[in-house]
């Protein structure tokens, strides 16, 4: 291998390079590296496929790139003797390349990164390239003896490891910037250089010897083998790239379906509705059906019966044929028709009345009579104010005149909006002073120890005229004015006051999470309020978590980013609430210095029964934990959900009715004594 034969009996022969094949080998090395890095990026994203699938794709792409580059490079070096290849060794030689790439990519994607990990990964990649090269050379069958210069071979090996280190270290360090195509192009060039330079430097130190009496002739076998080899390599690379492109397309399609369509009914969801009205906001009519009896049926019968009822309602509404109209499932108990013609509003109202008549009679699901409690609110927009359509419908549902007895109500701002809104706003000060507003607290449970870690503070209003109002009814009204700042200050003050009481009762480890509305996040007043609460109640910032939603970032992402950085500097935890429901939640994970990820209830509802939903939920958990975030799972309602989540991940926080409903402070202490002290 490293020793020259006797010069009395052997002579060295020289070959020449086909530069078109050399260029092809370099292009394949670069393109395979680019595809491998692109697939590796998918490990960091919320994907329907498990991250190991993308790790395997990255490894196969890189392995085939190393393998194809080598054999095309060998074919580019043309000797004046017949050359054949051992097909078994040729095919098997791809395995060390794929294995080394798999190990290297796995190491650089570890949550905890270090220089040692990058060195090990680059050595792994370099060894894979070297073994692939050596096996490829060994697969050659010819009458020549192959001799390597030891010093050139060592230099080639060092080059392979060194350039692999530069490229893999760059992937690890700049993973959040890998969306930049220029950077990805440059790093893929580095990785391709590690493969190519090692091969061509090693070939520079390689000499072929033949016996002195050997007769050299042109051989058709050589030509045939070269063409066959190139065809084989080109075919394998093409198949790989087609598979990769198909998987990426399928992954994006599934991601689109999950984000914009309801998994149970396959109807477009509320996010799709928001996207649609942004494209065309004129001449719209919205008819929203709310089924109030759904939760009662879930608890009185079973969730299976509840799902069957939802399917029945969805199929009934799907059977309606209306021109220029789309049916949406806005959320669990709400469906909506969006019509793009205001001149047909009377016809739409008539059709909704016909549906109401059908639902007046009881529905039988497996011989169980079920009486629906529904109402339909119809709103319309002739001008560019479609964003208020849905909130106007919700106002109809919260108005005392709405009975939920299959009534169809046309929204009237003089009845539903003005009087109700004014009473909410004018009654806010009295509500804060007379404790009509109050906080309830829902516990967060550690999945490992089952201990109470803390609580989320949730606001409620017992209105003197309208009775108990949900936050979804009065918060949107208050958010349209600056009074939302006053209300948030009241919530922070009340929560800190309660937290101090709990600390006096020896519950010093409990934390409390407070929802912060969008416009308030970037206000200097919020920081002043938090600092004032610290001075007043002596509550350290580490015991308070600020929960933000995507709307917090809509006005100015840069201002929100600066504010979050300030909160984190002051020691507050920052949670991204309702993760997965926003259009851009994934981008915020990259840009915002958040500490906690709260997975929305909608991703938990059908777990573990739905394998698709379970896979999506696990992917979201893996994503959050790989970024070093505390993951909170909201909306847990069954033991099966708890058992599944405890199997798929450690160190989660659970929140939901399975453990406890939101409770008043006195109920919290009673609940803790009952479940943890007895």
Backbone φ and ψ of 365, nearest 5°: -115, 110
Decide: 71 and 136 in contact? Cβ < 8 Å: yes
Decide: 292 and 299 in contact? Cβ < 8 Å: no
Q: Give the model's confidence band at 676: pLDDT under 50 very low, under 70 low, under 90 confident, else very high.
A: low
Measuring CA to CA, how many Å separate 591 from each of 62, 275, 548, 562, 569?
30, 23, 14, 10, 16
Residue 464's CB is within 10 A of a number of other CB atoms, namely 11
Backbone φ and ψ of 78, nearest 5°: -100, 120
**Lowest-confidence pick of 256-265, 378-387, 512-521, 592-601:** 378-387
Task: Please give the Cα distance from 442 to 677 (Å, whole number).
Answer: 18
Residue 70: closest CA among 98, 43, 41, 94: 94
Mean pLDDT of the chain: 82
Residues 6+ apart with CB under 8 A from 183: 174, 177
Average pLDDT over residues 495-501: 92
Task: Please give the Cα distance from 632 to 597 (Å, whole number).
Answer: 6
**Lowest-confidence pick of 81-85, 241-245, 523-527, 612-616:** 241-245
> Residue 442 has what pLDDT?
94
Q: Give the model's confidence band at 651: pLDDT under 50 very low, under 70 low, under 90 confident, else very high.
A: confident
Residue that wins the pLDDT comparison between 257 and 487: 487
pTM: 0.47
CA of residue 197 relative to chain centroid, distance? 38
Average pLDDT over residues 507-524: 86
Residue 553's CB is within 10 A of a number of other CB atoms, namely 26
Q: Which long-range contacts (CB under 8 A, 24 or more apart) does 490-495 make?
A: 490/432, 490/437, 491/439, 491/457, 491/459, 491/515, 492/529, 492/530, 492/533, 493/533, 494/438, 494/439, 494/457, 495/439, 495/457, 495/544
Q: What is the pLDDT of residues 277-326, one digit of tens each?
A: 888 777 899 999 998 877 777 666 777 778 888 898 999 999 998 888 99
- Backbone angle region of 324, left / alpha / beta, with phi > 0 → left and psi within -120 to 50 → alpha: left
Q: Is the dihedral of CA 497, 498, 499, 505 positive or negative?
A: positive
Residue 260: closest CA among 270, 252, 251, 246: 270
Percent of the chain with pLDDT over 90: 17
Residue that is written with structure tokens 């199997």 in the block: 647
Structure tokens at 653: 């926080």
Cis peptide before 256 (omega within 30 of 0): no
Q: Which residues pair with 409 in a beta bridge?
A: 377
Residue 497 has pLDDT above 50, yes or no: yes
**Lowest-confidence pick of 121-130, 154-163, 411-420:** 411-420
Q: Which residues pair with 452 in a beta bridge?
A: 445
3 state SS of 630: strand
Task: Please state whether beta strands 452-463 and 467-469 pair in parallel, antiparallel, or not at all (unpaired).
Answer: antiparallel
Residue 298: closest CA among 289, 306, 290: 306
Measuring CA to CA, how many Å separate 444 from each of 167, 635, 654?
42, 11, 5
**Lowest-confidence pick of 26-40, 212-226, 514-528:** 212-226
Average pLDDT over residues 486-498: 93
Residue 384 has pLDDT above 60, yes or no: no
Percent of the chain with pLDDT over 70: 87
Residue 517: closest CA among 478, 570, 466: 478
Helix axes 115-138, 51-76, angle to 10 degrees: 40
Task: Please give the Cα distance from 255 to 252 (Å, whole number).
Answer: 5
Task: Please give the Cα distance from 455 to 56 (Å, whole number).
Answer: 41
- C-alpha angle 308-314-316 in degrees, rounded to nearest 5: 105
> Residue 487 has what pLDDT?
93
Task: Please give the Cα distance from 112 to 106 (Å, whole number).
Answer: 12
CA of residue 676 relative to chain centroid, distance? 35
Structural domains of the chain, ranges and CATH numbers in brackets = 10-215+234-258 (no CATH), 270-411 (3.30.70.270), 434-677 (3.20.20.450)
**Lowest-confidence pick of 153-162, 239-248, 568-577:** 239-248
Residue 467 has pLDDT above 60, yes or no: yes
Structure tokens at 453: 């870690």
Backbone φ and ψ of 402, nearest 5°: -80, 120
Decide: 537 and 499 in contact? Cβ < 8 Å: yes
Average pLDDT over residues 600-620: 85
Decide: 90 and 72 in contact? Cβ < 8 Å: no
Alpha helices in 261-388 (DSSP H): 270-279, 294-300, 303-318, 345-360
Helix axes 181-204, 115-138, angle to 10 degrees: 50
Task: Please give the Cα distance from 154 to 152 (Å, whole number).
Answer: 5
Residues written for the chain:
678
Q: What is the pLDDT of residues 44-62, one digit of tens each?
A: 665 556 677 778 888 888 8
3 state SS of 438: strand
Task: Please give the Cα distance from 245 to 650 (Å, whole number).
Answer: 33
Residue 113 has pLDDT above 80, yes or no: no
Q: What is the pLDDT of residues 169-190, one digit of tens each?
A: 777 777 666 667 788 888 888 8
Average pLDDT over residues 233-252: 70
**Lowest-confidence pick of 14-18, 479-483, 577-581:** 577-581
């Amino acid at each position: 291998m490293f020793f020259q034969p006797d010069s009395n009996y052997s002579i060295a022969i020289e070959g020449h390079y086909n530069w078109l094949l050399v260029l092809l080998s370099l292009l394949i090395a670069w393109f395979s590296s680019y595809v491998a890095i692109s697939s590796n990026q998918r490990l960091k994203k919320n994907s329907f496929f498990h991250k190991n699938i993308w790790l395997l794709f990255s490894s196969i792409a890189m392995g085939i790139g190393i393998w194809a580059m080598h054999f095309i490079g060998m074919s580019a070096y043309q000797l004046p003797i017949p050359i054949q290849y051992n097909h078994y060794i040729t095919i098997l030689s791809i395995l060390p390349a794929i294995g080394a790439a798999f190990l290297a990519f796995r190491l650089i994607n570890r949550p905890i990164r270090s220089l040692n990990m990058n060195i090990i990964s680059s050595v792994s990649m370099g060894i894979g390239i070297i073994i692939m090269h050596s096996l490829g050379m060994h697969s050659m069958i010819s009458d020549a003896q192959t001799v390597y210069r030891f010093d050139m071979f060592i230099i080639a090996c060092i080059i392979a490891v060194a350039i692999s280190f530069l490229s893999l270290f760059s992937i690890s360090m700049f993973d959040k910037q890998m969306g930049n195509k220029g950077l990805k192009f440059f790093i893929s060039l580095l990785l391709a250089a590690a493969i190519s330079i090692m091969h061509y430097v090693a070939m520079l130190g390689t000499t072929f010897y033949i016996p002195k009496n050997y007769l050299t002739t042109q051989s058709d076998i050589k030509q045939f083998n070269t063409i066959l080899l190139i065809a084989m390599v080109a075919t394998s690379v093409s198949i790989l790239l087609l598979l990769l492109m198909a998987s990426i397309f399928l992954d994006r399609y599934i991601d689109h379906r999950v984000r914009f369509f309801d998994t149970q009914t396959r109807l477009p969801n509320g996010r799709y509705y928001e996207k649609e009205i942004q494209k065309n906001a004129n001449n719209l009519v919205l008819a929203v059906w709310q089924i109030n009896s759904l939760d009662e049926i879930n608890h009185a019968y079973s969730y299976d019966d509840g799902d069957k009822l939802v399917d029945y309602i969805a199929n009934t509404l799907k059977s309606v044929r209306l021109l220029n109209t789309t049916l949406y499932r806005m959320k669990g108990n709400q469906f909506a028709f969006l019509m793009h013609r205001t001149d047909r509003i009377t016809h739409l109202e008539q059709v909704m009345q016909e549906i109401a008549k059908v639902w007046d009679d009881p529905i039988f699901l497996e011989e169980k009579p079920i009486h629906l409690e529904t109402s339909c609110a119809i709103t319309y927009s002739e001008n560019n104010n479609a964003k208020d359509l849905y909130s106007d419908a919700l106002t109809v549902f919260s108005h005392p005149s709405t009975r939920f007895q299959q009534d169809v109500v046309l929204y009237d701002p003089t009845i539903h909006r003005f009087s109700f809104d004014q009473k909410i706003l004018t009654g806010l000060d009295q509500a804060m002073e007379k404790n009509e507003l109050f906080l309830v607290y829902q516990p967060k449970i550690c999945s490992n120890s089952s201990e109470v870690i803390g609580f989320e503070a949730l606001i409620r209003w017992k209105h003197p005229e309208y009775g108990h109002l949900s936050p979804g009814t009065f918060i949107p009204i208050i958010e349209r004015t600056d009074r939302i700042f006053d209300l948030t200050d009241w919530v922070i003050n009340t929560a800190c006051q309660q937290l101090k009481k709990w600390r006096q009762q020896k519950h010093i480890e409990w934390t409390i999470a407070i929802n912060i509305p969008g416009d308030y996040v970037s206000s200097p007043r919020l920081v002043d309020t938090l600092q004032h609460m610290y001075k007043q109640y002596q509550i350290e910032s580490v015991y308070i978590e600020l929960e933000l939603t995507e709307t917090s970032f809509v006005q100015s992402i840069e201002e929100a980013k600066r504010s979050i950085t300030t909160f984190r500097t002051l020691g507050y935890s920052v949670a991204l609430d309702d993760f997965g429901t926003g259009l851009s939640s994934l981008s915020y994970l990259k840009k915002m210095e958040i500490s906690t990820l709260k997975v929305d209830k909608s991703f938990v509802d059908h777990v573990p029964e739905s394998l698709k939903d379970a896979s999506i939920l696990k992917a979201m958990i893996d994503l959050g934990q790989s970024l070093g975030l505390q993951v909170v799972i909201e909306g847990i309602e069954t033991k099966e959900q708890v058992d599944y989540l405890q199997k798929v991940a450690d160190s989660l926080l659970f929140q939901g009715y399975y453990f406890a409903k939101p409770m008043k402070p006195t109920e919290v202490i009673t609940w803790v004594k009952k479940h943890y002290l007895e």
